[in-house]
Amino acid sequence: MPATAAPYQAKPVTAELYALVQHFYARQMQALDANRFEEYAATFIEDGVFQHTPSAPPAVTRENIVAELIRFNQRYEGDPVRRRHWFNHLVLDEQEDGTLKATIYALVITTRPGAAPEIKPSCVVEDVLEVDGGQVLARSRAVSHDQLF
């Protein structure tokens, strides 16, 4: 192994913290997929940063996150579509400033009545999380899409 190789796991997080963050994401994605955008935005700090597409400017503040999700979802008006965001391969790294860096694979599955589910885009999500006791909030989210190089 080359001397410069990064350690396999710099610092393991506890099982309790890992489960807390997984549960946070489960609630967050179920809010998003049910179009409960205020609940989704409330999973960010008040001046949180949300970028779901690299080419678009990030939405900053909860209010603007809600507005961006309403704008984005207008394309589905009258379309009997279900979109589900699936998170997996969650890696958590504690940072020196006390925040957690989360790196997650995400697939968006789109299904219309009677049709086969479509899986796209395939994304990597990079979040910075603040954890205070049992409370998790996202400080920032940047989503990169595999089809955009």
List residues binding ligand SDN (CB under 6 A): 32, 52-53, 72, 85, 106, 108, 121, 123, 125, 143
CB of 53 to ligand SDN, least distance (A): 5
Tell me whether residue 32 or residue 128 sits nearer to ligand SDN (CB atom): 32
CB of 56 to ligand SDN, least distance (A): 9
β-partners of residue 86 are 107
**β-sheet with 44-51: strand ranges across:** 59-60, 44-51, 135-145, 118-132, 100-111, 82-94
- In this chain, which residue has its C-beta nearest to ligand SDN? 52
Measured CA to CA, the distance from residue 59 to residue 71 in angstroms comes to: 11
Report the run of H or E that residue 30 belongs to, with start and end. helix 15-33
CB of 49 to ligand SDN, least distance (A): 12
